Structure formats: C-alpha cells, structure tokens
Amino acid sequence: MRVLVTGGAGRLGRSVVDGLADAGHEVVSVDVVTAPQDRAEATFPADLTDLGQAYGVVARYRPDAVVHLAAIAVPFSRPESVIHVTNTTLAYNVLQAAVDLGVGTVVTASSPTVMGYGSPAGWAPAHLPLDEDHPPRPWNAYGLSKLAAEQTMRMFAARYGDAVRLAAFRPCFVIAPEEWDGAPTQQGHTVRERIADPRHGAVALFNYVDARDAADFLDTLLRKAGDVPNGEVFFVGAQDALADAPLAELLPRYSGVEPEVAAGLTGTAPAFSTAKAEKLLGWAASRSWRTELR
C-alpha cells in the first residue's frame, strides 16, 4: 500500500520509512525539513501544524495509510506550552485530514510516558508489568500531549466507526540502528553508558525498543488493521529490559517502586508488557541489546 509517514526524517521515522519500504510498501516521508531518503518513494516538506498543509499533503499523495510520528519528541526540550500545543495540533490536523480525505488506515504515535513514571511528586504503579489497562497519569506536557493524541484517535473512531481503521502505539525508548555502534541516544549518552549506569534508564523504567522492531510492528498493524478491534492502543517494546540486572532489584533502588510490586520482574523481564500486540497481531520484538550491542 502507499503509506504516508509524518516525521519521517526523525530518529524513529527514518527506520519506519526504511522498514515499510523493505516490506514492500510505497512510502512517502513528510517532515518540516526533509532530506532525500533512499528507501522513500518521495519526500515532502510540510508544517503539519497548519491544517491547510496537512490537507494539502494528504490530497497530493492520496495514501492508503498514514503513520503519524511527527512531534516534538523529547520532554522539556521546548517550553511546556509549546510542546503541548504543537503535539496536540499535529495529531488533530493529521488525523482530521486523513479521515476527511478517505485514508483507510491511520496510526498515531503515543508514548509510554502517559503512564506518569518519573513524576517529581512520586509515582507508584498499580501493577507491573505495565499494560494498556493501567490508568495513565501524565505529569508533563509531553505525556499529556501524547495522551491527547490517543484520545483524538479514539474520538475519530467513535465518530466514524469502522469506516476508517484507527490505532495508536506507544513505542518505548527508541534506539536507532547507529546507536548500537556508539552514536548518542536522544538523552545524549550512549547505550553502553545507559546500561552501565542504571540512573540513566531508571527514569523510564529501563524500557527500550529497536527502531527497526517498531517498523516491523507498524507493517504488521497496517496489514492486519481490519482484523483487530478499532481504536486500539499498543505498547511496543523489547522483550527484555535495557539493564544487566533484574528489574526486581533495580526498580526499588533507582525508581522508587515498592519491592513487592517489582518482585515479579525477575531475570530479564521488562517493565512494559507487549502481550496485547502478541495476542491481537502476532507481533513481538525480535531484537535485544544482547544481540545488537557491539
């Protein structure tokens, strides 16, 4: 199918464009500033906070599906009001344009930060591992904007029903392929440094996903969107934690989680469950830091 990827030049977007193209899709990459991408059929610059430009790019390419990744992707990287307005506007504009112009499948990116971990006022999970049934409690503008993106998706699903297939996914801390070789992660340090010093990963409960696995998830979801309930939200993460010790030990020490709540996360078990994606889509991440880190 023809897939329009917003934010296609970003850390996750580059791998999504490449992965979907390798899976046989015709991919159009849209970003504020675009550079040629080898695997993209076309690249197009657009500011999607402008509703007219959002309609224009969808009308220009008439995709079968839209994968919406465009956002200010790092919490506190801009003023809170800017992050909230930008990300919520992007989600609304892209979904509105896609639905109005007859796109059959629309997937929007959310974030695990909607859970609210890392709050300076304290945070206690109701249960671990975290799943899609756990109540969200965002405490900053980024997490709030991602929860708003999920609710925007659900609003359109409630309005149009099965006339358009809609979903959201929460990709864990994204590691791009070059970061396994030592390029800095989005927090500035390397993957090896993140593993060696648990304080780096503790704020995110040691979650991560290889960007290529996220691309594989999206390919699977696009192909099976008509076979799963509409308006679903999925966690997308690795099958282990980005840590060299069990989270049952690390979370109470570094993340303030009560030992009895973390007790079940023994061995390499992650703090985020992808059981829903496995059950509904037959998808599970295939890459681990244990196989990719060189």
Tell me whether residue 189 is in a domain.
Answer: no
pLDDT of 38: 81
Q: Which domain holds residue 61?
A: 2-176+209-239+272-287
Grade residue 8 by pLDDT with cuts at 50, 70 and 90: very high
Tell me whether residue 201 is in a domain.
Answer: no
Tens digits of residue pLDDT in 71-103: 999 999 999 999 999 999 999 999 999 999 999
Tell me whether residue 163 is in a domain.
Answer: yes
pLDDT of 33: 84
Tally of domains in the chain:
1
Tell me whether residue 100 is in a domain.
Answer: yes
Tell me whether residue 148 is in a domain.
Answer: yes
Tell me whether residue 260 is in a domain.
Answer: no
Alpha carbon distance 199, 205 (integer Å): 10
Q: What is the CATH number of the domain that holds 155?
A: 3.40.50.720
pLDDT of 135: 97
pLDDT greater than 90 at residue 35: no
pLDDT of 294: 74
Place of tokens 């998706």: 153
Tens digits of residue pLDDT in 104-116: 999 999 999 999 9
Nearest of 150, 191, 153 to residue 170 by alpha carbon: 150
pLDDT of 188: 92
Tell me whether residue 247 is in a domain.
Answer: no
Lowest mean pLDDT among 66-70, 73-77, 227-231: 73-77
Question: To the nearest whole percent, how much of the chain has pLDDT over 90?
Answer: 96
Q: What is the mean pLDDT of the chain?
A: 96
Question: To the nearest whole percent, how much of the chain has pLDDT over 70?
Answer: 100
Tell me whether residue 228 is in a domain.
Answer: yes
pTM above the 0.95 mark?
A: yes
pLDDT of 36: 78
pLDDT of 274: 98
Grade residue 125 by pLDDT with cuts at 50, 70 and 90: very high
